[in-house]
Amino acid sequence: LLKTCSLHGISTFSFQTWLSQARQSKDYALPNSSWSQGMMDLYSRFLEMCKDGTWKRIPSYSNSIDHIPGKAFWCVCKERKETRLFPRNMDTEGVGFEYAMFLNPSEKRMVCLFQPGPYLEGHPGFAHGGSTATIIDSTIGGCAIFVAGRVMTANLSINYRNPIPLGSVVLVDSKVDQVEGRKVFLSCQVRSIDGQTLHAEATALFIRLDSTKSLQQQMSSQ
Ligand SMILES: CCCCCCCCCC(=O)SCCNC(=O)CCNC(=O)[C@H](O)C(C)(C)COP(=O)(O)OP(=O)(O)OC[C@H]1O[C@@H](n2cnc3c(N)ncnc32)[C@H](O)[C@@H]1OP(=O)(O)O
């Protein structure tokens, strides 16, 4: 029997159930030697806030399926061993997307600590806008999935305000603003650690894929 919990009236899989499903895979959201002191300090600060249960650290895997609560339902193909979650597609630590996410369920909020590496370069010394879009989509998407279940990005609108230096650490802060039927509206800001520099801000629309059944009902009927 699947355990579920209710988040502001929305049925979601229990965090523990999902964790136990994904426990065999390598977790890439743990500190490694490429993380700067700023990244480590921010990570420690959020870990501290996890102690009373307000925030939850979100593990990160190289295969997309491992991220999905109730992954058996999502997995329309049998095995996808050759695929990789896009932001986890580089084997060398520190060269691409280094990131760790934390979820605040009661605020319907997901934050992502992001350190862009040298292979994400756009203009010399700065992160490519597409890499910024990727980390925003992943953070907002993770937030939407945890709050609403099976969703896909329908619209993502980004205003780039200040370039992100490669090797710096930024905080991607996203939240669900509104849920209207199958539509989940979210917003996001990307800021420097000290909060003084706004790098980007975004709004997004995600669509819940099954209009008739909750995830709980879908899993129960399998
Ligand atoms: C922990 C980390 C986890 C990792 C997270 C990774 C997240 C990554 C997320 C992604 O990048 S997903 C990949 C990019 N997205 C896609 O490829 C989606 C492609 N589009 C589709 O598959 C479909 O268009 C979609 C599922 C989004 C919607 O199709 P549906 O047929 O289910 O919906 P429909 O067209 O019936 O529209 C439902 C409602 O949404 C509205 N809608 C749909 N698309 C819209 C749009 N683009 N803009 C505004 N409104 C939109 C539509 O008007 C309608 O409103 P009403 O109910 O009021 O009539």
Considering the domain boundaries, does residue 60 fall inside one? yes
Ligand 1 nearest atom to the CA of residue 146, by list position: 1
- Name the nearest CA neighbour of 35 among 164, 166, 167: 167
Considering the domain boundaries, does residue 29 fall inside one? no
Ligand 1 nearest atom to the CA of residue 181, by list position: 57
Q: What is the CATH number of the domain that holds 73?
A: 3.10.129.10
- In angstroms, rounded to a whole number, what is the distance separating the alpha carbons of residues 14 and 68? 12
If you measure from the C-alpha of residue 207 to the centroid of ligand 1, how many angstroms do you get, rounded to a whole number?
4
State whether the beta carbon of 141 lies less than 6 angstroms from ligand 1.
yes
- In angstroms, rounded to a whole number, what is the distance separating the alpha carbons of residues 113 and 127? 15
- In angstroms, rounded to a whole number, what is the distance separating the alpha carbons of residues 128 and 164? 8
Angle made by CA atoms 143, 110, 144, in degrees to the nearest 5: 10
Q: Is the ipTM of this complex over 0.95?
A: yes
Asked if residue 170 has pLDDT above 60, the reply is: yes
- Name the nearest CA neighbour of 154 among 175, 178, 137: 137
Range(s) of the domain holding residue 68: 37-220
Least confident of 4-18, 39-53, 64-78, 117-131: 4-18
State whether the beta carbon of 87 lies less than 6 angstroms from ligand 1.
no
- Count of domains forming the chain: 1
Known active-site residue 41 = no
| Residue bearing the CA closest to ligand 1, atom 21 | 154
Average pLDDT over residues 151-175: 98
State whether the beta carbon of 207 lies less than 6 angstroms from ligand 1.
yes
Model confidence band, residue 6 (pLDDT cutoffs 50, 70, 90): very low
Considering the domain boundaries, does residue 208 fall inside one? yes
Q: Mean pLDDT, the chain, as a whole number? A: 86
Considering the domain boundaries, does residue 11 fall inside one? no
> Quick check: 4 and 13 in contact, CB under 8 A?
yes
If you measure from the C-alpha of residue 154 to the centroid of ligand 1, how many angstroms do you get, rounded to a whole number?
3
Catalytic residue among 91, 137, 194, 210: 137
Model confidence band, residue 121 (pLDDT cutoffs 50, 70, 90): very high
Cα distances from 183 to residues 10, 50, 219, in angstroms, run 13, 29, 21
Instruction: Please tell me the predicted confidence (pLDDT) of residue 65.
Output: 78
Ligand 1 nearest atom to the CA of residue 85, by list position: 4
pLDDT in tens, 37-72: 999 999 999 999 999 999 999 999 998 877 765 554
> Quick check: 206 and 152 in contact, CB under 8 A?
yes
Considering the domain boundaries, does residue 146 fall inside one? yes
Considering the domain boundaries, does residue 106 fall inside one? yes
Considering the domain boundaries, does residue 5 fall inside one? no
Percent of the chain with pLDDT over 70: 77
| Residue bearing the CA closest to ligand 1, atom 55 | 183
Considering the domain boundaries, does residue 18 fall inside one? no
Instruction: For residue 67, give the 3-state DSSP assignment.
Output: helix
State whether the beta carbon of 147 lies less than 6 angstroms from ligand 1.
no
State whether the beta carbon of 208 lies less than 6 angstroms from ligand 1.
no
State whether the beta carbon of 133 lies less than 6 angstroms from ligand 1.
no
